Chains A and B, each alone.
Chain A
Amino acid sequence: VDSQVLLEALYIVFEPARLLWLMLGVGTGLIVGILPGLGGVVGLALLLPFIYGLDPYAAMAMLIGVGAVVSTSDTFPSILIGTPGSAGSQATIMDGYPLAQKGEAARALSAAFSASMVGGVFGAIVLSLIIPVARPLVLAFGSPELLMLSVLGLTLVGSLSGSRVRNPVKGLSAAAFGLFLGTIGGAPAVLEYRFTFDALYLFEGIGLVLLSLGLFAIPEIVDLLCKGGAIADKMGSIGRGWRQGLRDTLRYRWLVLRHSAIGVLVGFTPGLGSAIVDWLNYGVVVRTSKDREEFGKGDIRGVIAPESANNAKDGGALIPTLLFGIPGSASMAILLGAMTTLGIEPGPRLIQNRPEVLYVIVWSLAIGTVAGTLICFLLSRWIARLALIPFHYVAPFILMALALGAYSSNFHWADLLVLLVFGLLGWLMKHAGVPRAPLLVGFVLSPLIERYLWISLTRYGLSFLLQPFVLVIATITVLLMVWQVLGTFGVGGGSKPRMQQGEG
């Protein structure tokens, strides 16, 4: 690790105004994590409009702050009311809720928070260690390799993204649709405007803010309102056991580290989102434990393992996003889009020209995780009550922020219309079992892929496809697609395709 850049980045983050923005992100993350149904993507989308005009470090700190804490605060509803705060805390219910019913909610929360903190910091450390190691490899990549890596990343996100119906064709369709939406507006290679219907509004393309708010926030709001009433009518007492929870985390420290490492690995793999990391780690801890009888009835290890992993995954997910410009999830796509908006181009140029940005992100992740955990510890009794507020009292305020955020994209009435249209599309996709993350990732990658393609073709012609790295990545991509499609058609496993229940 380049210690001078690391210290410079720390100095940048500790500038009071930037710390304040980071804390604003942490606060937003806390709230969206606690309100069941919303999540990190909605939190990021809500704050995205406010980055315009901010200094890039402050903006990045704020956005990272949201992601750093959602995986911690979403534990409240999982443990206290048995409803996941976000997709990443579903497995925590399995043992967290039974513990709360036994009067040990404080113990479960304490263990979850401390394991989350260790996981988050572990992820940040891995990220900081990977940067100098990966630097020569990243710098060796040219446009052809980056093109193929982008295609591979998109294929992974498309085919692995979770949805109600596990059908990779739906995810790939969504990814292709995102690529198409990304072509609206000016072409990168020549002066030509595409799919604009001669409307000036579309000349600069569709805004990432509008797309992310519409696709992710509006459908969740509508569904929560349709459910009606409070998320839970009553909540058990938090009880005692805060110290016991901390002791549990210390006692199972190797478990925490093992699952943090798994979390980083899963986060690194594009397409494997929060829900998968949570269930995967729960499954691993159950299978690898000798005494399994208490799992599902209130075993603290069933809380510690998924919680340490789902915080650590953020560090892992940032690796492909920052080093190669390939976002592996919807939140990473928003982050990548935000960086582009701020004039920061992730990938080789970032490592080469502005390495301090990478370490600002590392520090923000670590500080945000620690600050979020401390807030959760200190204010848990009050924060937990947020989950009991009937959603219809909260909805107008969230909608207000959405509308303002959407309108401030272009200050044009059409922004509001586009928001509603994407809201409808997002709702349709959600209930049709079409994952929305690949669409957003495809949208963000579209201009990059087209640019890499154009540069590769003009520089090397079609012979760029024969370069060694390109061949390797292309082979992996093709094999992956064939494997997924064969799996869908049930080849080797019966006649019915694998369209089973996903993680919701």
Chain B
Amino acid sequence: MALPVLPLIAATLFLALFAFAAWEARDFHQAARAFPMAVGLAGIALALLDMVLDLRFGDGQDPETPPFRHAALHFGLIGGYLLLFALIGFPLATGLYTFGFLLLMTRQRGKTEWLRSAVLAAAALAVSFALRALVGGRF
């Protein structure tokens, strides 16, 4: 039987965070302690039970989970876009990301679409300037 890796990772993450919540709550003022402490302790019990159930009865990986490599690539691209946003501002980051992303995606499909990518990137740039003006900020 395959080990249910993702469910176990999720349960372990929850367990660690609930343990942290319960531990930290000890030092809070009495009126601020009860609720996070109760949630933390209940959460620890639930996460442990979940782990046991996963280990005993888990049925391996979700068949709809995309290959990890693909998911990591797209999370990396999104992370890169958000980093660009923080570094060079929203409109420029959006234009650059759209152009680069579309080139990459179309190349992966066997036909790099330079013109369409450039046109859509220009459109994204224009929309992002408009949205920024709508929100009312300079970022």
Contacts and interface: CB of A to CB of B under 8 A. Distances in A.
A404 interface: yes
Interface residues of A, number: 64
B88 interface: no
A261 B101 CA distance: 47
A400 B101 CA distance: 13
Contacts of A434: 7, 10
Interface string B22-47: 00110011011011100110110011
A180 B78 contact: no
Contact of B71 (A192, A226, A408): A226
B7 A404 contact: no
Interface string B54-79: 00011101101111001100110011
B94 A173 contact: no
Q: Looking at chain A's contact residues, is the secondary structure mostly helix, strand, loop, or mixed?
A: helix
Interface string A175-187: 0110110010001
A268 interface: no
A434 B51 CA distance: 12
Given A192-B32, A400-B124, A403-B81, A431 B62 contact: yes
Interface string A338-367: 000000000000000000000000000000
Nearest to A167: B53
B111 interface: no
Interface of B: 4, 6-7, 9-11, 13-14, 17-18, 21, 24-25, 28-29, 31-32, 34-36, 39-40, 42-43, 46-47, 49-50, 53, 57-59, 61-62, 64-67, 70-71, 74-75, 78-79, 81-83, 85-86, 90, 94, 97-98, 101-102, 105-106, 108-109, 120, 124, 127-128, 131-132, 135, 137, 139
Given A404-B131, A432-B11, 4 more contacts: A169-B53, A223-B71, A404-B132, A423-B78
29 contacts: A169-B50, A173-B47, A177-B14, A179-B39, A189-B32, A192-B31, A194-B25, A194-B32, A195-B21, A195-B24, A222-B75, A223-B66, A226-B67, A392-B101, A393-B120, A397-B124, A400-B94, A403-B82, A404-B128, A408-B137, A416-B82, A419-B82, A424-B75, A428-B9, A428-B13, A432-B6, A432-B11, A453-B35, A499-B57
